[in-house]
Amino acid sequence: MKKIKKTLFLSATVMLLAGPALAQTGSVYADTVSDAKSAISSNQSAGEKLVSQLNDMQDKVVALQKKVTAKNQEIANVQKDITSSQARLDELVGEIKTATVELNNRKTVLREQLVQLQKESTNSVSGNVYIDFVLSSDNFTELLSRSVAVGKLNKANKDAMDAVQQAKDKLAGLKDEQSAKQDQLVADKDKLVGEKAALTAAQKDADSASQDLQKKIEDNQATLATLQVNLNTALTAQQKAANEAAQKQAAAEAAAAQASAAKSAASSSTASSSSSASTQSTTNNVVNNVNAGTSTGNSGSSSSNGGNSSHNGNAYAYGQCTWYAYERSGWAGSYWGNGADWGNSARAAGYTVNNTPQAGALVSFAGGQNIGGWTADPTYGHVAYVESVGNGTITISQGGMGFSNPGGPNYQTLSNVGAYTYIHPAN
C-alpha cells in the first residue's frame, strides 16, 4: 500500500512539474517565432519603403537629365545669337571705318580745292579764299560765274560732309546698340551655364542617393534572407519542442494511469477473497459461452485498418495519415509528430532510417514533396505504409482527409523510390 501511494505521489509530481515546463517551452519557441515573423514583416515594410524612395529618386534623376538637356539647347541657341551679334558688330565696325575714311577723304579734297582757289586768287583782300576768288574776277560776267561756282562747291562739300557724318553717327549708334545686345546675350549665357551647373550637381547628388538606396535595398534583402532562415529554424525548434512536450505529457499520463491501475488492483484484491465462489461460477459461465460461439468481450477494442477503432496507444487523430500509418504498422511510435517528422523521431527512438525501400516499412514525405502527381502539405508532410516493392516502384497504403476513405487503406504505386525516407521495423 505504501508503494502504491509513493507511485501516485511521484506521478502527480511529474504531471505538476511537466505541465508548466512544457507550457514555458512552448511559450519560448512561440515568442521566438513571433519575433522572427515580426522582424520579417518590419524588414519587408522597410524594403518596400526603400524601393519606393529609389523609384522616386530615379524619376528625379530622369527629370533633371531632361532639364540639363533643355538647358544645353538654350545655351546653344544663345551662343548662336552671340555669334550672329558679333558678326553684325564686326560689320558695323567695318562700316564706321569706311565712313571715317570717306570723311577724311572729303576733308582732303576740300583742302585741295581751297589751295587751288588760293592759287587762282593772286591778291588776298578779305582773307577768305572764296571771297578773294570772287573779287579777283576780271569782269562782271566772270564775277557772277565764280560766285555761282563757289556757292555750288560749298553746298556740295557741305552735303557730302553732312551725309558722311550722319552715316558715321548712325553706325556708331548701331554699334552701341549691338554691343548692349551682345553684353545681354553673354550675361544670359553665363546665367544658363550657372543653372546648368546647378542641375548637373543636383543630378549627381540624385545619382549618388540612388546608389545609396540600391545598397540599402541589397542589405535589406540579405537581412531578410537571414531572418527567414531564423524563422525556419525557430519553426523547426518549435515543432521539435512540441513533439517532445507531447511525448513527455504522454509519459506522465501513462505513469498516472499505471499508478491508478495499481491502486485499483490493490483494492480489488482485497475483495476477491470474499467472492471466490461467485468468481469461479462466472468464469465457468464465460467458458461455456465461448464454447457455444458467443463472447462477452468488447468488440470495439480490436484493431482495424478500415474503421474508427484503433489498438491501444494510438494518440493520433482519426482521418490523419499518421493515424493510419500507426494502425497499419502496429509498431510505430505514438508521439512521432507530423508525417514529415517521423524519420527524425524514429531515428531518435533507435529505428533504422534511410532511403532504401522495404516492404513493411513506413515511408515519410517532406513538406511540399511530390507524391506521384500530388504534393504533400508544405507544413505537415505525409506518411504511409509500404505494402510491396517492385522493380523501381513501391506500392503504399495510406490514410488522410484528402482521400475518399480517410481511415484507409488508399493504395498508390510510386516511382523515384530513392527520393523518400523509409523507417524500417525493428528486427
- CATH classification of the domain holding 347: 3.90.1720.10
Domain-embedded: residue 402: yes
Q: How many residues in total does the chain contain? A: 427
Domain-embedded: residue 292: no
Does residue 350 sit in the same domain as residue 207? no
Does residue 48 sit in the same domain as residue 177? yes
Q: What is the layout of strands, in order, in the sheet containing 362-365? A: 352-354, 421-424, 362-365, 382-389, 394-398, 410-414
Does residue 116 sit in the same domain as residue 7? yes
47 within 8 A of 220, measured Cβ to Cβ: yes
> Residues near 315 by Cβ (< 8 Å), separated by ≥ 6?
246, 250, 334, 335
Does residue 359 sit in the same domain as residue 231? no
pLDDT at position 23, please?
Answer: 47
Does residue 101 sit in the same domain as residue 6? yes
In 3D, which of 170, 52, 65, 160 has the Cα closest to residue 108? 160
Domain-embedded: residue 265: no
* C-alpha to C-alpha distance for 122 and 337, rounded to whole angstroms: 148
Domain-embedded: residue 369: yes
Does residue 233 sit in the same domain as residue 364? no
Could you list the residue range(s) of the whole structural domain that residue 341 is in?
318-424
Q: How far is CA 281 from the centre of its chain?
A: 83
356 within 8 A of 422, measured Cβ to Cβ: yes
pLDDT at position 21, please?
Answer: 46
Domain-embedded: residue 156: yes
- Let me know if 355 is exposed, middle or buried by CB neighbors in 10 A (0-12, 13-18, 19+): exposed
In 3D, which of 196, 212, 167 has the Cα closest to residue 64? 196
387 within 8 A of 397, measured Cβ to Cβ: yes
pLDDT at position 231, please?
Answer: 78
Does residue 208 sit in the same domain as residue 325? no
In 3D, which of 147, 149, 153 has the Cα closest to residue 110? 153
pLDDT at position 12, please?
Answer: 43
| 371 dihedral zone (left: phi>0; alpha: psi -120 to 50; beta) | beta
Terminal CA-to-CA distance of the chain, rounded, Å? 39
* C-alpha to C-alpha distance for 374 and 382, rounded to whole angstroms: 11
Does residue 116 sit in the same domain as residue 14? yes
Domain with residue 29: its CATH number is: 1.10.287.2610
Does residue 219 sit in the same domain as residue 329? no
Cell numbers linked to 146: 565764280
Q: What are phi and psi of 337, to 5 degrees?
A: 80, -150
Domain-embedded: residue 275: no
210 within 8 A of 55, measured Cβ to Cβ: no
Picking from 186, 216, 239, the residue at the C-terminal end of a domain is 239
Cell numbers linked to 337: 509528430
Instruction: Note the pTM of the prediction, 2 decimals.
Output: 0.37
Beta carbons within 10 angstroms of residue 194's beta carbon:
11
* C-alpha to C-alpha distance for 75 and 155, rounded to whole angstroms: 53
Does residue 217 sit in the same domain as residue 112? yes
Cell numbers linked to 271: 475483495
Does residue 9 sit in the same domain as residue 136? yes
Question: Would you say the C-alpha torsion 146, 147, 148, 153 has a positive or negative sign?
Answer: positive
Picking from 204, 239, 274, the residue at the C-terminal end of a domain is 239
Domain-embedded: residue 27: yes
Number of domains in the chain: 2
Give the helix/strand (H/E) hosting 243: helix 140-272
Does residue 211 sit in the same domain as residue 68? yes
pLDDT at position 268, please?
Answer: 59
87 within 8 A of 181, measured Cβ to Cβ: no
Cell numbers linked to 122: 593772286
Picking from 239, 266, 295, the residue at the C-terminal end of a domain is 239
Domain-embedded: residue 278: no
* C-alpha to C-alpha distance for 166 and 174, rounded to whole angstroms: 12
**Per-residue pLDDT of the chain in tens (427 residues, 90 and over written 9):** 444 444 444 444 444 444 544 445 555 556 777 787 888 888 888 888 899 999 998 899 999 999 999 989 999 999 999 999 899 889 888 988 898 898 888 788 877 776 776 666 666 656 676 677 666 777 878 778 878 887 887 788 888 888 888 888 988 999 899 899 889 999 999 999 999 999 999 989 998 998 999 889 989 888 888 887 887 777 777 777 776 776 777 677 767 777 777 776 666 555 444 444 444 443 343 333 323 333 333 333 333 333 344 455 789 999 999 999 999 999 999 999 999 999 999 999 999 999 999 999 999 999 999 999 999 999 999 999 999 999 999 999 999 999 999 999 999 999 999 999 999 999 7
Q: What are phi and psi of 312, to 5 degrees?
A: -60, 140
Residue indicated by cell numbers 582732303: 108
